[in-house]
Structure 1
Amino acid sequence: MKLIQAKDHYSALMKEYKGYIDTWDAIYKLDSNQTNSTEELFKDVKKNLIDTGYFAAEEMIRLITDAWKKNLHYSQGYIDLMERIFKEYNFTDDLYKKFVPIILSYEEIIINDDVEGLLNFINNEAYDLTKLLELCCLRGAINCFKLLKDDFNMEITKKCLDNSFKGGNQYIINECLKEQNPDKETMEAAIQSHNIDNFKKLFFETNIQIRIKCMVKYKNLHAFIYYLNRTNDLDTCFLFSPYFNIPSFCEYLYANGANMSSMSTDGDSTLDIAVLTNHTETASFLISKGIEMDEKAFYYAVSSNSTVMVELLVSHGADVNFREKKILVFQCFILLA
Structure 2
Amino acid sequence: MSDQDVHPSKYGEMRSKFKYYIDLYNALYQLKTEKEEELNNIYKKIQTELIDSNQLPAENIISDILNIIPYNNRYTKSYLSLAKFICDDYHIQEVKNVNRVSNFLFYKEYGIKLDKSANFKAINSENLDVLTEDTIYRAIMYNDIERFIAFTEREGFHLSKNLKSDLYINNNSGYSLLELCCYYGAVDCFKYLRTKFFLRCNILLRNDSRMSSAFIFRRKSRDH
Q: Aligned residue for 1:180? A: 203
Q: For 2:40, give the aligned amino acid.
A: E
1:126 and 2:158 are equivalent in the alignment = yes
Identify if the C-alpha distance between structure 1 residues 41 and 83 changes in structure 2 by more than 3 Å, giving closer, same or farther.
Answer: same
Q: Aligned residue for 1:153? A: 198
Identify if the C-alpha distance between structure 1 residues 151 and 126 changes in structure 2 by more than 3 Å, giving closer, same or farther.
Answer: closer
Q: Aligned residue for 2:16? A: 15
Whole-Å Cα distance in 1 between the matches of residues 90 and 84 of structure 2? Answer: 10
Segments of structure 2 that go 5 or more residues without pairing to the other structure are 1-5, 94-109, 119-124, 163-175, 214-224
Deviation, structure 1 residue 141? 0.8
Q: Aligned residue for 2:64? A: 63
Report if the CA contact (8 A) 1:106-1:118 is conserved. Answer: yes
Identify if the C-alpha distance between structure 1 residues 186 and 33 changes in structure 2 by more than 3 Å, giving closer, same or farther.
Answer: farther
Whole-Å Cα distance in 2 between the matches of residues 106 and 59 of structure 1? Answer: 35
Per-residue CA shift, 1:280-303, capped at 9, x if unaligned? xxxxxxxxxxxxxxxxxxxxxxxx
- Percent identity of equivalent pairs: 24
Q: For 2:146, give the aligned amino acid.
A: E
1:81 and 2:113 are equivalent in the alignment = no
Identify if the C-alpha distance between structure 1 residues 117 and 91 changes in structure 2 by more than 3 Å, giving closer, same or farther.
Answer: farther
Q: Aligned residue for 1:108? A: 138
Whole-Å Cα distance in 2 between the matches of residues 96 and 151 of structure 1? Answer: 45
Whole-Å Cα distance in 2 between the matches of residues 120 and 135 of structure 1? Answer: 17
TM-score by length of structure 2 reads 0.60
Q: For 2:210, give the aligned amino acid.
A: K
Identify if the C-alpha distance between structure 1 residues 103 and 69 changes in structure 2 by more than 3 Å, giving closer, same or farther.
Answer: farther
Deviation, structure 1 residue 52? 3.9
Identify if the C-alpha distance between structure 1 residues 103 and 51 changes in structure 2 by more than 3 Å, giving closer, same or farther.
Answer: farther
Deviation, structure 1 residue 181? 4.8
Identify if the C-alpha distance between structure 1 residues 59 and 76 changes in structure 2 by more than 3 Å, giving closer, same or farther.
Answer: same
Report if the CA contact (8 A) 2:194-2:200 is conserved. Answer: yes
Deviation, structure 1 residue 84? 1.8
Identify if the C-alpha distance between structure 1 residues 44 and 103 changes in structure 2 by more than 3 Å, giving closer, same or farther.
Answer: farther
Per-residue CA shift, 1:9-33, capped at 9, x if unaligned? 2221111101111111110011212
Q: Aligned residue for 2:216? A: none
Q: Aligned residue for 2:107? A: none
Q: Aligned residue for 1:41? A: 42
Q: Aligned residue for 1:191? A: none
Q: For 2:57, give the aligned amino acid.
A: A
Q: For 1:121, give the aligned amino acid.
A: F
Q: Aligned residue for 2:30? A: 29
Identify if the C-alpha distance between structure 1 residues 184 and 45 changes in structure 2 by more than 3 Å, giving closer, same or farther.
Answer: farther
Deviation, structure 1 residue 58? 2.8
Deviation, structure 1 residue 54? 4.2
Root-mean-square deviation (CA, aligned residues, Å) is 3.1
Identify if the C-alpha distance between structure 1 residues 12 and 37 changes in structure 2 by more than 3 Å, giving closer, same or farther.
Answer: same
Whole-Å Cα distance in 2 between the matches of residues 96 and 45 of structure 1? Answer: 22
Whole-Å Cα distance in 2 between the matches of residues 155 and 95 of structure 1? Answer: 45
Deviation, structure 1 residue 36? 3.5
Report if the CA contact (8 A) 1:23-1:45 is conserved. Answer: yes
Q: For 1:128, give the aligned amino acid.
A: S
Report if the CA contact (8 A) 1:137-1:145 is conserved. Answer: yes
Q: Aligned residue for 1:251? A: none
Identify if the C-alpha distance between structure 1 residues 120 and 42 changes in structure 2 by more than 3 Å, giving closer, same or farther.
Answer: same
Q: For 1:94, give the aligned amino acid.
A: G
Q: Say how many residue pairs are matched.
A: 161
